[in-house]
């Protein structure tokens, strides 16, 4: 649950929720292909590549190759493509093909957002005999990162900020697409004098590979794509994303002991909520997970926004069924809080463009994709074309959401029309990322599809196989976007390393078992009397049923407080669902929360301290309970939001009676 730079890969996908491109489906035509097993190469970076250690990438040897910004004018302005080589560590080893890697977003730097820590964690034992090359494609990281200040700051009108970024880039705004990125990768390969290489790409880096592969197929050894973006048959309305949301909500709830008991079909609660908000939106003031107040208008478009976010470990998807039930009972507080939490910004502000470039995301995406309008048309004409396409949509296309709910503009909907509607018209003649006459790439490939990937569900990921037909697609259960660094990351990394070492992923049974269940909520009780009672866990327990309901409420309060911490990080003024305060801190080991009359239910205030261990997932909270006519002191402990989570134990006394009880941890 620790937040890392790599989490940006998932976060930035939200900026453009409905990517699209038209591309052909291939028939049986195939290329001849060389043997794909491990082969030797020249043993390391070419002496003439100009590699040397640099402060910007500790542990790596840094290089830069100058290429034309506009390849139609090779003598014109140049752009330096920065890369870092991490040499193999065993001089006695028979050196295999180097591994090239680029990052997703698009806009995330491989060298600054990943670096040596990424290389060691992902490739581990392969490092003995493999060089690893991280490339910052044009406009990212140390390859002249695009900095469009209003867009980078994430404030103001999103559509206007994208338009201004395009205006800032001027007639270079269409020189950052996947075709040019593919040529940049080839320039790095040539500079290193590498004959063939293996490729690892995460998220949008799959576009790099697809564009490169159809142009230079014989340069590729094996390919690993993790949660890949497909350039083939992508729907600008993101219909598959909409259809996947009920499945995601059902799956998360079904695996949660708390949620499953109250919501055997959580998607039905979601559908009821979408229908209700279409005709009767909910308005109110609520506090986000940092404790800042927001006046929110919760309509169907806001519900869509909620379902498109994975913050706090899918807090919205884990809580939406219970929030819908609460609203049916006249309690809007849980839903209003979820809506307020969508306004939480990056802790410490947005990242610098050298880590993640929002400008490059726009430049790359708006150049690569085809939308519902002619890019050569004026803005007004583009808008008319979009509206005409929207009017033709099947009203059931995005069920359980309506067209108005799904195809709503930013900032409160799913970004329709796409912000690229204001991007400058192209001024250069460039091939599509996958040309119409492209042939399939015969390189052996491993493709990982993350079960909990919101924007790139399996229905989209499998389209990559049109480009890479000689591939094995493995579904990684319980994994979030970028499986190698998700909850089932140990399994995903083992499969990746085995495939790169041998050309086969082998036994993938570990991918069928989620590492753990995400904790869900069964009910948002107004009072402790509405809670499911905790179960007795020892003969020493002397509690009444009412005591055990209070015990369950105490455990739910502690879990809720930690969930809020995971959404946005430390705060000195966070608020409980129904009142009270929380302060929180974190270090490399874990998180600490301090509760002051923190309320999850109206009649129970909780005060005390709790800790969470990032490594083990262990909660240990000692809290005092203040309830009308009674008082208690309990310890809440157990594994939560981590492998091995089953039960939380509540041990102490309430009203002078010993309580030893347990509740589901999930």
pLDDT one-digit tens code per residue, 352-385: 999 999 999 999 999 999 999 999 999 999 999 9
Helices of type H across 255-310: 257-262, 266-279, 300-307
Q: Return d(Cα 274, Cα 396) in angstroms, integer.
A: 13
Task: Calculate the average pLDDT of the chain.
Answer: 91
Q: Are residues 137 and 197 in the same domain?
A: yes
Query: Is 256 within 8 Å of 666 (Cβ atoms)?
Result: yes
Question: What is the count of structural domains for the chain?
Answer: 2
Last residue of a domain, one of 452, 486, 512: 512
Q: Are residues 456 and 556 in the same domain?
A: no
Query: Is 231 within 8 Å of 210 (Cβ atoms)?
Result: yes
From the list 10, 6, 16, 22, the residue with the least C-alpha distance to 410 is 16
Last residue of a domain, one of 466, 481, 512: 512
| CATH code assigned at 186 | 3.40.50.1820
The angle subtended at Cα 640 by Cα 639 and Cα 643, nearest 5°, is: 70
Residue corresponding to tokens 């399996």:
458
Q: Are residues 111 and 168 in the same domain?
A: yes
Model pLDDT for residues 545-580, shown as the tens digit of each residue: 999 999 999 999 999 999 999 998 999 999 999 999
Please determine, for residue 5, whether its predicted confidence score (pLDDT) is greater than 70. Answer: no
Q: What is the mean pLDDT of residues 523-534?
A: 97
Please determine, for residue 225, whether its predicted confidence score (pLDDT) is greater than 90. Answer: yes
Q: Are residues 77 and 187 in the same domain?
A: yes
Model pLDDT for residues 240-280, shown as the tens digit of each residue: 999 999 999 999 999 999 999 999 999 999 999 999 999 99
Hey, what are 259's tokens?
Answer: 């949620």
pLDDT reported for residue 8? 27
Hey, what are 147's tokens?
Answer: 């900095």
How, if at all, do strands 581-586 and 574-575 pair?
antiparallel
Hey, what are 277's tokens?
Answer: 């908000």
Q: Are residues 612 and 656 in the same domain?
A: yes
Hey, what are 127's tokens?
Answer: 């490092």
461 occurs within a structural domain = yes
pLDDT band at 347 (very low <50, low <70, confident <90, very high): low
pLDDT reported for residue 49? 61
Sign of CA dihedral 509, 511, 515, 516: negative
Model pLDDT for residues 383-440, shown as the tens digit of each residue: 999 999 999 999 999 999 999 999 999 777 778 999 999 999 999 999 999 999 999 9
246 occurs within a structural domain = no
Q: How far are the Cα atoms of 141, 482, 621 from residue 197, in angstroms, in the given order?
A: 22, 22, 51
In the chain, the percentage of residues whose pLDDT exceeds 90 is 88
Q: Are residues 532 and 474 in the same domain?
A: no
Task: Determine which of 32-46, 57-71, 443-457 has the lowest per-residue pLDDT on average.
Answer: 32-46
Q: Return d(Cα 323, Cα 246) in angstroms, integer.
A: 15
Please determine, for residue 331, whether its predicted confidence score (pLDDT) is greater than 60. Answer: yes
298 occurs within a structural domain = no
pLDDT reported for residue 162? 97
Hey, what are 129's tokens?
Answer: 């005999």
Please determine, for residue 46, whether its predicted confidence score (pLDDT) is greater than 70. Answer: no
Last residue of a domain, one of 455, 481, 512: 512
176 occurs within a structural domain = yes
Sign of CA dihedral 117, 121, 127, 128: positive
Hey, what are 634's tokens?
Answer: 């309990």
Q: How far are the Cα atoms of 42, 107, 177 from residue 361, in angstroms, in the given order?
A: 36, 5, 10
Cα 201 to chain center, whole Å?
A: 15
pLDDT band at 189 (very low <50, low <70, confident <90, very high): very high
Q: Are residues 432 and 536 in the same domain?
A: no
pLDDT band at 4 (very low <50, low <70, confident <90, very high): very low
In the chain, the percentage of residues whose pLDDT exceeds 70 is 92
434 occurs within a structural domain = yes
Q: What is the mean pLDDT of residues 321-348?
A: 93
From the list 546, 575, 541, 562, the residue with the least C-alpha distance to 652 is 541
104 occurs within a structural domain = yes
Q: Are residues 105 and 222 in the same domain?
A: yes
pLDDT reported for residue 492? 98
pLDDT reported for residue 413? 75
pLDDT reported for residue 417? 94
Domain that holds residue 75: 50-236+428-512
Q: Return d(Cα 236, Cα 398) in angstroms, integer.
A: 13
From the list 462, 505, 510, 506, the residue with the least C-alpha distance to 222 is 505
Please determine, for residue 311, whether its predicted confidence score (pLDDT) is greater than 80. Answer: yes
Please determine, for residue 478, whether its predicted confidence score (pLDDT) is greater than 50. Answer: yes
Query: Is 558 within 8 Å of 579 (Cβ atoms)?
Result: no
**Gap between the terminal Cα atoms of the chain:** 15
pLDDT band at 233 (very low <50, low <70, confident <90, very high): confident
Q: Are residues 551 and 476 in the same domain?
A: no
Q: Are residues 465 and 532 in the same domain?
A: no
pLDDT reported for residue 636? 98
Report which of residues 29 and 300 the model is more confident about. 300
Residue 83 pairs in a beta bridge with 63, 135
pLDDT band at 154 (very low <50, low <70, confident <90, very high): confident
Q: Are residues 194 and 104 in the same domain?
A: yes
Q: What is the mean pLDDT of residues 83-94?
A: 96
Task: Determine which of 8-17, 372-381, 482-491, 495-504 has the lowest per-residue pLDDT on average.
Answer: 8-17
Q: Return d(Cα 165, Cα 16) in angstroms, integer.
A: 15
326 occurs within a structural domain = no
Q: What is the mean pLDDT of residues 45-49?
A: 50
90 occurs within a structural domain = yes
Q: Are residues 558 and 585 in the same domain?
A: yes
Q: How far are the Cα atoms of 157, 256, 426 from residue 163, in angstroms, in the given order?
A: 10, 43, 14
pLDDT band at 346 (very low <50, low <70, confident <90, very high): low
């Amino acid at each position: 649950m620790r937040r890392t730079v790599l989490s940006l890969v998932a976060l930035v996908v939200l900026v453009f929720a409905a990517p699209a491109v038209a591309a052909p489906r291939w028939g049986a035509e195939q290329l001849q292909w060389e043997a794909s097993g491990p082969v030797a190469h020249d043993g390391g970076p070419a002496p003439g590549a100009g590699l040397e250690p640099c402060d910007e990438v500790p542990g790596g040897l840094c290089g830069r190759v100058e290429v034309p910004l506009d390849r139609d004018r090779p003598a014109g302005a140049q752009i330096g493509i920065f890369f870092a080589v991490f040499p193999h560590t065993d001089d006695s080893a028979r050196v295999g093909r180097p591994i090239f890697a680029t990052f997703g977003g698009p806009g995330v730097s491989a060298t600054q957002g990943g670096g040596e820590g990424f290389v060691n964690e992902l490739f581990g034992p392969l490092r003995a005999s493999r060089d690893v090359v991280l490339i910052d494609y044009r406009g990212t990281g140390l390859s002249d990162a695009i900095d469009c200040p209003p867009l980078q700051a994430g404030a103001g009108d999103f559509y206007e900020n994208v338009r201004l970024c395009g205006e800032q880039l001027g007639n270079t705004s269409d020189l950052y697409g996947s075709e040019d990125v593919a040529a940049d990768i080839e320039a790095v390969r040539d500079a290193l004098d590498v004959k063939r290489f293996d490729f690892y790409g995460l998220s949008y880096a799959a576009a790099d590979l697809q564009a490169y592969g159809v142009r230079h197929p014989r340069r590729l050894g094996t390919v690993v794509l993790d949660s890949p973006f497909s350039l083939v048959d992508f729907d600008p309305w993101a219909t598959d994303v909409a259809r996947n949301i009920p499945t995601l909500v059902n799956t998360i709830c079904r695996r949660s002991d708390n949620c499953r008991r109250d919501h055997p079909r959580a998607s039905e609660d979601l559908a009821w909520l979408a229908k209700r908000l279409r005709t009767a939106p909910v308005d109110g003031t609520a506090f986000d997970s940092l404790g800042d107040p927001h006046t929110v208008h919760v309509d169907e478009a806001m519900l869509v926004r909620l379902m498109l976010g994975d913050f706090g470990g899918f807090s919205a998807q884990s809580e939406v069924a219970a929030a819908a039930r609460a609203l049916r009972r006249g309690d809007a507080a849980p839903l209003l809080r979820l809506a307020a939490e969508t306004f939480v910004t990056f802790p410490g502000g947005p990242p610098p463009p050298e880590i993640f470039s929002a400008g490059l995301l726009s430049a790359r995406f708006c150049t690569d994709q085809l939308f519902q309008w002619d890019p050569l048309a004026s803005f007004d004409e583009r808008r008319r074309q979009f509206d005409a396409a929207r009017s033709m949509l099947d009203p059931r296309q995005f069920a359980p959401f309506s067209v108005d709910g799904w195809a709503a503009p930013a900032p409160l909907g799913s970004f329709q029309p796409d912000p690229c509607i204001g991007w400058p018209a192209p001024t250069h003649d460039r091939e599509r990322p996958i040309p119409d006459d492209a042939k399939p790439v015969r390189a052996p490939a491993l493709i990982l599809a993350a079960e909990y990937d919101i924007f790139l569900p399996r229905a989209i990921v499998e389209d990559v196989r049109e480009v890479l037909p000689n591939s094995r697609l493995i579904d990684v259960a319980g994994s979030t976007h970028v499986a190698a660094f998700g909850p089932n990351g140990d399994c995903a990394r083992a499969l990746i390393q085995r495939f790169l070492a041998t050309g086969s992923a082998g036994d993938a049974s570990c991918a069928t078992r989620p590492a753990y269940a995400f904790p869900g909520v069964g009910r948002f009780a107004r009072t402790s009397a509405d809670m499911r009672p905790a179960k007795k866990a020892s003969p020493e327990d002397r509690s009444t049923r009412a005591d055990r309901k209070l015990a369950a409420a105490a455990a739910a309060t502690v879990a809720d407080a930690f969930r809020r911490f995971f959404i946005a990080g430390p705060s000195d003024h966070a608020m409980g669902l129904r009142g009270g305060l929380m302060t929180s801190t974190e270090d490399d080991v874990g998180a600490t929360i301090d509760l002051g009359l923190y309320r999850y239910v109206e009649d129970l205030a909780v005060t005390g301290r709790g800790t969470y261990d990032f490594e083990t997932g262990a909660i240990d909270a000692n809290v005092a309970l203040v309830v009308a006519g009674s008082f208690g002191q309990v310890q809440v402990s157990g594994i939560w939001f981590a492998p091995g989570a089953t039960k939380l134990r509540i041990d102490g006394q309430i009203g002078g009676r010993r309580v030893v009880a347990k509740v589901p941890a999930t």
